[in-house]
Structure 1
Amino acid sequence: MTLQTPDGIGRVGVWSGLLSRSDTQFQDEQKDAAAELDELGYGAIWLGRSPGVARAVPLLAATRRITVATGILSVWEHEAADVAAQVAELGEDAARFVLGLGVSHGPMTPGYARPLQKMAAFLDELDAAPVPVPRERRVLAALGPKMLALAAERSAGSHPYLVTPEHVARTRDALGPGKLLTPELGVVLDSDRMRARETARKFLAVYLGLPNYTNNWLRLGFTEDDLADGGSNRLLDGLLVLGDAVDVRTRVAAFHEAGADHVAIQVIRPDDTLPREEWRTLAAALPLA
């Protein structure tokens, strides 16, 4: 089964930066959490914070069914030849691995220039490796039209981050049929609206300084005023879900109706701990099958 078949990774997955941390003392909890996500029925684990392929290895070993993906691996921080070799070393587990690739952001990357050309060159090297990474096992973190065109031509599809249902619909049109669309969706499960907005603004702060995101939000109809002072309520409500599991289910349905094959849920908490209780709650509320 190729990645282009939507049920290959299910309808809903989990996106987590914490599951990609390399802290030795944290790894047993990571593996235990991954095994539980597998049992709960989620289709994929997307590893945030630009992880290398190696971060997927212990989670693949701890699970039996679920797909593990990089969400995303920065092409500026890794050599394509090394990445291809590491994917080849996964052996049979490579069938449950997805290589998510992205070009990161200028303010975070020394020497950042010509990101589209950088991605194309990285893909060239993956194709030229002794054991190439198949196109159907890689996706690109594409937001703008040129990167989306590259994703459609040279990968299984796109894994966009911090987007709206409108962006999902535009992306589906740009990718065309038969390509995988797996947007991330951030959620704050908190019935206290004021506290939820505080958590959301703290989370969003770093992204408000990254032009790849802010330019995309402006293309979607948000204004400079929406981007000021930590983000307007309109921006928060457009990009994230603040509320309960029913609210999350409603937005996930909107993403699917707009053309998403799979939605990667990122639970946002005010502390830096794995949101395992929230994952359980959402597993009972969302269409995982």
Structure 2
Amino acid sequence: MDKQNPSAPPCAQPRIPRGITHINVRHTTRFTVIGNHLAQHPELSGLAIGLAVHIQSLPTGARADIKTLAARFPEGETRIAAVLRELETHGYLARTRERLPSGRVVTHTVSYNRPRGADAQEPRPTTPQSRPAPTPTLTPAPAPAPAPVGPDAKVPPSPAADTHPKNPPPAPEPHTHDSAADRTATALLASLHRDDPRLLLAERDVRRLAPAVAAWLDRGAAPEAVRRTLTASLPEAPLRHPAGLLAHRLAELLPPPLPTAPATRAAVRPLPLQNCDGCDRAFRAPAPGRCRDCRSDLLEAA
């Protein structure tokens, strides 16, 4: 009775589930509907998806600028700015600069719960029974170009100048908003197609890139120098995204701020020459009179 039967079937092992198990509770208040095209986006970074969800959950009129978001999340302003541009690239966000009647320039942010454009990507299927996965459309952008040296320097072309980087550098912005500099930057960008017809920009791209050009002007760069940097050694292949190429060059080739000029000491002018009333000898004094020797003789005689 104490011997085991070797022919007895083994006990069934418990089945361990694989993958994630969902426990869902239906929300009736304080919830936001998020599409899987965002939650499962094949190209957006995790930070971009999270920030997009946060922005879509905000009420209309809430502030969603870089400083406000940087104060809300542990990421700094530079990382937040890069993520906002990432969301703009994929159609989930649009930002325009508007001038108030008071003259102050503000940024108006529009959030889209579904990306704009007919080529919005759907998430890949998670099971074989799901619909076939669409082929993701990669958005091309420029590769980094070396900084030009001197007024006649050329930016060498790059074969990858038409592909977007995964983490584009933050766009420069001027320290102070100058209406004259804004007009100069806008006119410069709008006229780049005269140098190369492929650089004909949409009005939205001109408004988006104008602050970066104004940052160059704020650092002392001449408008003609900015134009040469943006149009030098463009790739021979068709430019599918000229605005992305210009944005990359404006960020990567930003010149350093001009050094502060040292304060110059005011030149001390010598006193004018006067002729002594006693000995007719020339001496320096603020007004006519006697020289020091003649004044000493008068004091001794007294």
TM-score of the superposition, structure 1-length normalised? Answer: 0.21
**Normalization by structure 2: what TM-score?**
0.21
> Per residue, is there more strand in 1 or in 2?
1
Identify the structure with the greater helix proportion. Answer: 1
